Amino acid sequence: MIPTSWSAAQPSWSASEPLAASRSRFLQGLTRADIDCVMAAAKARQLPANAIVINQGDPADYFFLLAKGCARYFSITEEGEKVLLFWFVTGDIFGGAALLPEPSPYLLGTETVKESRVFVWHRSVLRDLVARYPRLQENALCIASDYLTWFHASHMALVSHSARERLARVLTTLAPGIGHKVVGGIELDITNEELANAANVTPFTASRLLSEWQRSGAISKGRGRLVLRAPQQLLPHVV
């Protein structure tokens, strides 16, 4: 687990910084000079895979932009079960509760999936930037609306779709976001257990469906990774 204090992070933004972070939707509509000013107020951290970035329930003191790597939201149930939720890719933001006018706790936890680089703003710094650049708040609201759309679709799928449909949709949704192209398909670094959790199915059901799809040639499986070869074969209406 990484330290809860981010004060040791060092500023690292400069005009020569690769443009991946500056293409974030959070920064849309700002001039390059404004982007440089916003990013210069951030501190950078390089994080290992499987690091807890945010603990659910902690004070929302920091706001994050993912510049490289992959991360995801998770929630811990009252019984101590970890539920995987939304995945983040380069350019995405998280820790949005830090934008609220009143101090609030983080609703969800966040962890890295692979080695990642994040830019971090303390809440007080972020609030000053939003006052100076109102477009930041507008962008954050648009992104929050997209996240709500995703959670709504996920809940409706749980209510109305079969286990096969939910798992197929998880695969086809994650592939363009966290996957990378390889010969013959798109490879995802994800385990059976993570897929089962994301699709709200049992590990046994996920294993059975994945084995069936592997026999049909729709996917190929290795330890901790999967290659999606023919998404149209998962379900006739999933592309």
3-state secondary structure of 57: coil
**150 shares a domain with 177:** no
pLDDT in tens, 121-162: 999 999 999 999 999 999 998 888 777 766 666 666 666 688
Same domain, 98 and 170: no
| Residue 201: closest CA among 236, 237, 165, 153 | 165
| β-pair partners for 118 | 45, 66
Q: Specify whether 26 is located in the same domain as 89.
A: yes
Instruction: Give the integer Cα–Cα distance in Å for 237 and 228.
Output: 16
- Domains: count for the chain: 2
d(CA 7, CA 90) in angstroms, rounded, equals: 23
Token pair recorded at residue 196? 């089962």
- Amino acid identity of residue 90, one-letter, is T
Q: Are residues 65 and 149 in the same domain?
A: yes
Q: Please check whether residues 146 and 52 belong to one and the same domain.
A: yes
Q: What is the dihedral of CA 78, 84, 86, 90, to 10 degrees?
A: 130
CATH number at residue 181: 1.10.10.10
Residue 99 per-residue DSSP state:
G
Co-location of 143 and 30 in the same domain: yes
Residues 78-132 pLDDT 10s: 888 888 888 888 889 999 999 999 999 999 999 998 899 999 999 999 999 999 9
Residue 76: give the domain boundaries.
21-157
**Domain co-membership, 129 together with 143:** yes
Q: In this structure, is residue 153 part of a structural domain?
A: yes
Q: Which among 122, 97, 93, 112 has a CA at the least distance from the CA of 28?
A: 93
Q: Which of 157, 190, 216 is the last residue of a domain?
A: 157
Q: Is residue 239 part of a domain?
A: no
Q: Name the packing angle between helices 203-216 and 163-178 (round to 10°).
A: 70
Nearest residue to 27 via CA among 133, 101, 178: 133
| Phi, psi angle pair for 23, to nearest 5° | -85, 0
**Residue 237: alpha-carbon gap to chain centroid:** 26
Is there a single domain that holds both residue 143 and residue 166?
no
Clarify whether residues 32 and 142 are in a common domain.
Answer: yes
Residues 71 and 119 in one domain: yes
CB-based contact 100:144 (threshold 8 Å): no
- Predicted TM-score (pTM) of the model is 0.72
Q: pLDDT of 184-199, one tens digit each?
A: 898 888 888 888 877 8
- One domain, residues 137 and 26: yes
